[in-house]
Homo-oligomer: A and B are copies of this chain.
């Protein structure tokens, strides 16, 4: 599997073309997804039914020539496993019955064994891997401790971050205790995903970018670094590559690039050329097309794909992706335009053996 294009690119080894997968490539924009989704009562049930979640995982890679399948799941499976009463309200997003806002609530948070409580995720990976038979790697993932904590503390999709920032400034020890608890779970969870067959891991730090620089280091990046280090130690020689993505993390890119991640995801507000210079060839980069570009006419999409490739430049070390998840109302045919453009335009950036390392 290590000879697959995606993993080679992350390792900076020569590839024939730029590998690609798309954040939220499995989901609502695909009619075949909506069909499966309508057969179960809610989104969480779908995540928890490996037979269906594995089918949904494979739908985009059956339809499109993508270089990875990302497991169909959600970053909130962990707080759901803690028993916080998670539900997804149609059109409004997640809601927790029991948000964590006190020492007492934190004390009641159980220690969970992801192999047991989140076993359905590992089973989804195993089922998908069986179908894929090594053709492309499976990406496992988790939310960052800070990002998961924002939902657990705010009780819903955070908007102003008032509640968690109040906790951060008034009871930092409480927030640190929550982040430590989450980190332990995430490490065990990701390690279980790797054992089940995930060959790449991605950490989603959706909300790290709302923090000031010192707060980002203290409350988000440090915990992610611990996770990266623990996973490296647990795996020894044959560690899978880890992608770290902080949305709106551009201002703190130097720190993120030095976190120990193998690849850093970028949104469309960060210039790939600048990021590559900063990375000094030590870290691969993933991104960074604005997913809304997929609303555009064909020639605009082709141009935008060209711009992303041009910004990264020649050689390996780049994984093409969107800068955030696919919008649910994208026409699936538009994705073909993107992939065809990439297939046509990217080989010239790999024409010589211009290895990054």
Contact = CB atoms under 8 A, between A and B. Distances in A.
Q: How many copies does the complex hold?
A: 2
Contact of A165 (B161, B209, B290): B290
A159 to B, nearest CB: 8
B248 A212 contact: no
B160 A327 contact: yes
18 contacts: A160-B327, A165-B290, A165-B292, A166-B295, A166-B329, A168-B292, A169-B292, A169-B295, A169-B300, A170-B295, A209-B248, A211-B290, A212-B268, A212-B290, A213-B269, A215-B290, A248-B248, A250-B250
Going nearest first, the 10 A-B pairs with the smallest beta carbon separation are A165-B292, A169-B296, A166-B295, A169-B295, A212-B268, A251-B269, A250-B251, A162-B327, A212-B290, A170-B295
Given A162-B292, A212-B290, A248-B269, 9 more contacts: A162-B329, A165-B290, A165-B292, A166-B292, A166-B295, A169-B293, A170-B296, A209-B269, A212-B268
Interface in A192-244: 209, 211-213, 215
A292 B211 CA distance: 10
A297 interface: yes
- Contact residues on A (Cβ < 8 Å of other chain), bracket: 20 to 34
A129 B212 CA distance: 36
A284 B254 CA distance: 26
A344 interface: no
Nearest to A288: B212
A15 B300 CA distance: 51
A271 interface: yes
